[in-house]
Amino acid sequence: MNSLSKKIKNKNIRVHSIEAKSYDKLHREIFNTYEQKKILNELKIIYTYFKKGSVLDVGCGTGNLTIQFIQKGYYVDGLDISKDMINELKQKIKSKKIHLYNQDIDEFLKITNKKYDIISFSSVLHHLPNYQKTLKNCIKKLTSNGILYVIHEPLNNNETILDNIIEKIDYYLYRFNLYLKQIKTQKIDYSYADIHCKNGIDAKKLIDTLNINKNFEILLYEEYNARKFMFFSKLQNLIGTKKNFRFLIRKI
């Protein structure tokens, strides 16, 4: 592991250690109704291909996807580099269908012999030193017809003045909401933890790179906005620039 990769991973451990106990409350853009409805609809698509099966939920965190997969009856290996995030997930769910690993995804892929029907990433790629390499290695661990599920990642689209206005209003209302609920926050340096957020990810190029041999079917690809409040997500979708992406691709 080179020095930059090590720094990125260590910063992620630190950041998520600080955020773990309040993660769900701090990240409304992930846990609001707007985002959760999208996830439910995407799980319906996955269910048409695998009514039961095995899942590797990479960066499982506090359980955004893991819990929903368990509730659908899947067997889940939840993996996260942050021990504190995994501890929060353990407090939410007890099931014989879940196994949790406090491990780095790149190291895990080197040693596991398991194959999975579904490999999922929720708000994870932008934290990884080399997300292309990680995804390519994950694809090798998919079963025949296996599905790669990626959601809530930053696009490399340029912001407009209108985008900035919407995002600032959304942010300050969010801060006021935290104040009213007496949720304390700490000043956190995300510069290395969120290494790919500033420039974003070229999602279409990424999919083309993964599908270079035309071995995949794109089940879903969407560019959208994920703000703290559902209203501002919808508003920016209507009149602003799309800043996030999600996709489902299946091996064929």
Q: What is the pLDDT of residues 74-86, one digit of tens each?
A: 999 999 999 999 9
Within-domain flag for 238: no
CA distance 114 to 111: 9
Within-domain flag for 73: yes
Q: Which CATH number belongs to the domain containing residue 131 in this structure?
A: 3.40.50.150
pLDDT tops 80 at residue 222? yes
Within-domain flag for 239: no
pLDDT tops 80 at residue 251? yes
Q: What is the mean pLDDT of residues 92-116?
A: 94
Range of the domain at 182: 3-228+244-251
pLDDT tops 80 at residue 113? yes
Contact 241, 233 (CB under 8 A): no
pLDDT tops 80 at residue 196? yes
Within-domain flag for 61: yes
Within-domain flag for 234: no
Within-domain flag for 148: yes
Buried b vs exposed e over 20-52: b needs ≥16 C-beta within 10 Å? bebbbebbbbbebebbeebbeebbeebeeebee
Q: What is the DSSP letter of 97?
A: T
Within-domain flag for 184: yes
Lowest mean pLDDT among 55-64, 204-213, 235-244: 204-213
Per-residue pLDDT reduced to its tens digit, 129-176: 999 999 999 999 999 999 999 999 999 999 999 999 999 999 999 999
Instruction: Write down the mean pLDDT value for the chain.
Output: 95
Q: How many domains does the chain have?
A: 1
User: Could you tell me the pTM of the whole model?
Assistant: 0.95
CA distance 185 to 46: 36
Going along the chain, which residue ranges are E strands?
54-58, 75-80, 98-102, 116-122, 142-154, 216-224, 244-251
Torsion of CA 182, 191, 148, 2, to 10 degrees: -140
